[in-house]
């Protein structure tokens, strides 16, 4: 099984109290809850693609953290993954460390980047049933005004009609999913689970705005 998650920010106390306002009593409590949620879902041989900003901790703290997390880990580098610069960080815990990747996930392509890509590779590809063949998974923006702007962009894009090469009028696909850890209660999710989570969250947001 393969899972995805973004922006855990282990050891980042100010995100708990300020930007994200996660509501934990302490950064230690936050760390332990996220480890619990992770290991409750992920087994030893499962794959977890981390879409950046895993840890704000020092090299030794992050080494210890990684030894406590289940799964085979893959890292898309985020702007706060500063532990990577230390010669004492144990990079071998990751299967690979990259800034960008494209993978296949159950006959669909996933575009992986810490930063949202508005126009991503194979964006227009659909299967015979008209379902998306490509998803762009990202992090970085958390649940901020930047995420609201991305959602506005998605609404504009998907309501725009163009002609495909066959002359048929179609709506432009825009299947971008923010894998922000708070959206999944700090639990890594499969692609299908993230699709369902994203749809449910946006439906609730739309309902509340009316």
Which of 14-18, 145-149, 165-169 has the least mean pLDDT?
Answer: 165-169
**Greater confidence, 208 or 26?**
26
pLDDT of residue 53: 98
pLDDT of residue 2: 98
pLDDT of residue 207: 60
pLDDT of residue 149: 97
DSSP of 98-109:
ESEEEEEETTEE
How many structural domains is the chain composed of?
1
26 to 38, 57, 59, 90, 107: CA distances (angstroms)? 19, 15, 21, 26, 42
How far apart are alpha carbons 177 and 161 in whole angstroms? 21
Using pLDDT thresholds of 50, 70 and 90, give the confidence band for residue 210. low
Using pLDDT thresholds of 50, 70 and 90, give the confidence band for residue 177. very high
Domain extent for 33 = 2-209
DSSP label at 16?
A: I
How far apart are alpha carbons 13 and 136 in whole angstroms? 29
What is the CATH classification number for the domain harbouring 199? 3.60.21.10
């Amino acid at each position: 099984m393969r899972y995805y998650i973004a922006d855990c920010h282990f050891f980042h106390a100010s995100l708990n109290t300020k930007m994200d306002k996660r509501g934990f009593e302490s950064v230690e409590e936050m760390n332990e809850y996220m480890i619990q949620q992770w290991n409750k879902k992920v087994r030893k041989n499962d794959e977890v693609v981390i879409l950046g900003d895993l840890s704000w901790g020092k090299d030794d703290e992050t080494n210890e953290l990684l030894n406590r997390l289940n799964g085979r880990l893959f890292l898309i580098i985020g702007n706060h993954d500063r532990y990577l610069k230390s010669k004492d960080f144990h990079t071998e815990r990751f299967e690979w460390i990259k800034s960008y990747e494209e993978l296949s996930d159950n006959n669909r392509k996933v575009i992986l980047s810490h930063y949202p890509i508005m126009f991503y590779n194979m964006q227009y590809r659909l299967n015979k049933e008209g379902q998306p063949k490509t998803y762009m998974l990202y992090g970085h923006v958390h649940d901020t005004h930047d995420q609201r702007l991305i959602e506005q962009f998605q609404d504009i894009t998907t309501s725009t009609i163009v002609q495909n090469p066959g002359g048929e009028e179609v709506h432009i696909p825009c299947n971008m999913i923010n894998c922000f850890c708070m959206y999944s209660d700090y639990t890594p999710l499969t692609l299908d689970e993230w699709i369902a989570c994203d749809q449910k969250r946006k439906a609730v947001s739309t309902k509340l705005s009316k």
